Structure 1
């Protein structure tokens, strides 16, 4: 029985340090409407999202129409905002087990995302599930299944982005990029 996960990186945001409530920008809202229409056309059975507003706003217009799963939140880089974000990413992606104080290593973030994906696959066999999440967690988790999803891939991943992953039970079969018509 094939299960399809539509893994969605959130649309463009207005940056604030408030991770939980950061909202989409005007461009992000426009792109989210396109994503939501596309997902409706794909006949999604279930919507599951990070509890961060920008993630659920990208896949649904109202948080009450999605199940929120804390495991799908973005990885915590550090306890406080880092001064050199790109330098921090270089270090985290080159040292699998390294974590800044109060932050999360690639290894730990991937394990969290993988547990969420495995639970979703077990709970919704044969269904089409949209997953609203974030770039780092998305690529780290998908990288468990397919090594094309790596740091280089993450650096060029647009906002929003949709990848369609097909599974037979827990067995990964393939990934396809879903074009977002603009």
Structure 2
């Protein structure tokens, strides 16, 4: 039987800071996520420590009576510590040049490595079906690691929330499939 990691981008939120809460629409989306994943035999839930990620998965955790484990490695990537009016251009460049590192930020390579190590650690755990909640940029970089065609354009098409299933085969190959429509 295949191991599955359900990689989720958090629901719609009222901001980008770590303490940002879900918007009203996001709270409704969190209930929809619980409905989507409620019958998937989820064994474990791991999330970014950001409030919007935790709130995204609380309805499912409550329904399944599972604890929510926090992993700092699933926090959003910091593109730069300074305000960039043209941040979208810089983000596009960071997908083209994974070593590009802006002041106070993380390169795509650094963030990808952090996120992928978190996923690989989960693959080694005995649980078969694990929910992972993170953020758009880090999620895109994790997906890019497993599918190199996933780049800036694919990131720009991600929704809040979004759900991808990473199916891990016996030989540790990863099959990527989008579940959220």
- TM-score normalised according to structure 2 size: 0.90
Aligned to 1:4: 4
- In 1, the alpha carbon distance for the partners of 2:96 and 2:87 equals 14
Q: CA RMSD in A?
A: 1.9
Q: Where do 1:1-182 residues align within 5 Å? A: 2-16=2-16, 19-61=17-59, 65-124=67-126, 127-168=128-169, 171-179=172-180
User: Would you say the 8 A contact 2:146–2:176 is kept in 1?
Assistant: no
User: Would you say the 8 A contact 2:10–2:52 is kept in 1?
Assistant: yes
Shift of 1:145: 1.2
Runs of 4+ in 1 over 3 A off after TM superposition: 61-64
User: Would you say the 8 A contact 1:5–1:128 is kept in 2?
Assistant: yes
- In 2, the alpha carbon distance for the partners of 1:160 and 1:142 equals 15
Shift of 1:113: 0.5
Q: Report the 3-state secondary structure (helix = DSSP H, G, I; strand = E; otherwise coil) of the residue aligned with 2:115.
A: helix
Q: Report the 3-state secondary structure (helix = DSSP H, G, I; strand = E; otherwise coil) of the residue aligned with 2:123.
A: helix
- In 1, the alpha carbon distance for the partners of 2:24 and 2:118 equals 30
Shift of 1:78: 1.1
Distance 1:67 1:170, change over 3 A: farther
Stretches of structure 1 lacking an aligned partner (at least 5 in a row) = none
Stretches of structure 2 lacking an aligned partner (at least 5 in a row) = none
